[in-house]
Amino acid sequence: MAIYFGTDGIRGIANDFLDHDLAFKCGNALTTLKEKPTVVVCKDTRVSGDMILYSLDAGIMCGGGKVINCGILPTAGLAYITRLYGADFGVVISASHNPFEYNGIKVFSSRGVKLCDEAEEKLEELFEKTNLKKGMDIGTAAVYDDEAYAQYKEYLVSCCKHNLKGLKVVLDCARGAAYKVAPDVFRTLGCEVFCFNCDITSGTINDGCGSLYPEVLTEKVKECGADVGFAFDGDSDRVIACDEKGNLVDGDSLIYIFARHMRQQGRLGKDVVVGTQHTNMGIENALLRLGIKLLRADIGDKYVRELMDKEGCLLGGEQSGHIIIGDITTTGDGILSAIEACNATAASGKKLSELSDAVPYPQVNINVPVEDKQKVMSDNRLQKIVKKCREALRGNGRLLVRPSGTEPKVRITVECEDLCDAKKLAGEIADVVRSVSEGN
């Protein structure tokens, strides 16, 4: 079992769990996994990004690898550049949606997909086996930030298949990696762009903005009289949309919209899409009415990708806004998903509110901070209350309790046709989680 890697790479508070030594070890281990690899590296806008990036770079070069630094770039941009350059690995320095004091390391294969659990465990095993080259065998580094930015931007623009000239678009870039490229792309496409949270000088990535705070997006869409709005997270691998009426459109609803749009275009392949244990039952039922089956993967976009590969699916994603459009990308790309939403509206001649006609079940999500996730999850009191609440649903809803893969929290999700019932059951479970965590 992996010690450092969670559901989305290595994640922790910078200079605490994730320090320069761990970053060096990770970079150096890549040179044992493959002799003299070429590794493409980028970061988001966190203050700690340079420290971790240069430590990782040093580990790669000490082991004889070649580093290509791409500067600030969204995670999906790194995945694209890794494939474009024929690199052996891609590494993103980012903690995605987490607060600014966190940082992380995400490792991609040459295919532009996140390493599977087995590969991450193998990489971890090499952390203590330092590979130090001498003389002419020491590696080198090059800076390709301008080139990589231009190539990723060109790719995104090419994915727009319809005329968006004059479309009023609000973008909340979370003071993160999308701060420059997202506005640049939509302006190039002829849109009237209203940008918010694009100033990265404060370093307060994700703080009260972006996809975790969609109420900001709703307010700005109404204020600007926009046709559509999009809020990204810190590394722009997820997106939450807002229609022209100010209604939020989450990842589940976007998957429904994309599935219908892609099938109409003959791009869906099989009439199957991949979601997760969090995908709303209302969306699943709406897809079934279209003749499209939903498969559920474990939480985490890399598990969505793995199930897509296994089943030959071309669309998958998470409620949080990680969406993988398999015929044009390999990983979650918030900007690309925003473009695809605009493609769907333009192709149909309808507003986003008209396309988002699937009715989700009321869903309650509670994240409870805990000291010891495993202790809480294994406690008999929690098992009993979960069993009791599942029986109360009587098959007319879903309940999920799981430890977070990226934070010291237990996540509780309850959905059913009655919101009051969902709140009641979720609250009962949360109370038990708090009690167990506090030792009561």
pLDDT per residue over 99-122, tens digit each?
999 999 999 999 999 999 999 999
Query: What is the pLDDT at residue 405?
Result: 77
The amino acid occupying position 220 is: K
Residue tagged active-site, from 48, 55, 96, 356: 96
Instruction: Give 256-293 pLDDT, tens digit per residue.
Output: 999 999 999 999 999 999 999 889 999 999 999 999 99
The amino acid occupying position 49 is: G
The Cα 349–Cα 22 span in angstroms is: 51
Query: What is the pLDDT at residue 207?
Result: 96
Q: Is the pLDDT at 395 greater than 80, yes or no?
A: no
**What average pLDDT does this structure show over 407-431?**
93
Instruction: Give 63-78 pLDDT, tens digit per residue.
Output: 999 999 999 999 999 9
**8 A C-beta contact, residue 255 and residue 318:** no
Beta strand 315-317 with 293-297 is unpaired
- Three-state secondary structure call for residue 110: coil
The answer to whether 5-148 and 363-437 have equal CATH topology is: no
The amino acid occupying position 422 is: A
Residues in the chain: 440
Residue pointed to by tokens 């996730």: 373
The amino acid occupying position 94 is: S
- Mean pLDDT is lowest, of 13-27, 167-181, 272-286, 391-405, for 391-405
What are the helix (H) ranges across 108-171? 117-125, 145-158
Residue 409 to residues 14, 108, 367, 398, 433: CA-CA distances in angstroms?
18, 26, 6, 20, 10
Over pLDDT 90: what percentage of the chain? Answer: 91
For the beta sheet containing 66-72, the strands, ordered from the edge strand earlier in sequence to the opposite edge, are: 5-6, 9-13, 102-108, 89-93, 38-43, 66-72, 140-143
Nearest Cα residue to 251 out of 221, 294, 289? 294
Q: What does the DSSP 8-state code read for residue 16?
A: T
Pick the CATH number of 363-437 from 2.40.10.170, 1.10.287.110, 3.30.310.50, 3.40.50.2030: 3.30.310.50
Q: Which residues of 193-220 are buried (b: 16+ CB within 10 A; e: fewer)?
A: bbbbbbebeeebbbbebbbbbbebbbeb
**8 A C-beta contact, residue 273 and residue 251:** no
Query: What is the pLDDT at residue 277?
Result: 87
The Cα 217–Cα 130 span in angstroms is: 47
Instruction: Give 143-181 pLDDT, tens digit per residue.
Output: 999 999 999 999 999 999 999 999 999 999 999 999 999
The Cα 79–Cα 85 span in angstroms is: 10
**What average pLDDT does this structure show over 32-49?**
97
Tell me the average pLDDT of the chain: 95
Instruction: Give 320-342 pLDDT, tens digit per residue.
Output: 999 999 999 999 999 999 999 99
Helices 181-188 & 145-158 angle (0-180, nearest 10): 40
How does residue 406 score in pLDDT terms, banded at 50, 70 and 90? confident
Per the annotation, the verdict on 211 as an active-site residue is: no
The Cα 227–Cα 240 span in angstroms is: 15
How does residue 40 score in pLDDT terms, banded at 50, 70 and 90? very high
Q: Is the pLDDT at 231 greater than 90, yes or no?
A: yes
Q: What is the CATH number of domain 159-355?
A: 3.40.120.10
Residues paired with 91 in a beta bridge = 41, 107
Residue 82 to residues 78, 148, 152, 284: CA-CA distances in angstroms?
6, 10, 11, 34
**8 A C-beta contact, residue 186 and residue 193:** yes
Residues paired with 14 in a beta bridge = 18
The Cα 98–Cα 52 span in angstroms is: 16
**What average pLDDT does this structure show over 196-206?**
95
- Three-state secondary structure call for residue 29: helix
The domain spans of the chain are: 5-148, 159-355, 363-437
Query: What is the pLDDT at residue 1?
Result: 66
Pick the CATH number of 5-148 from 3.40.120.10, 3.40.50.740, 2.40.50.100, 3.40.47.10: 3.40.120.10
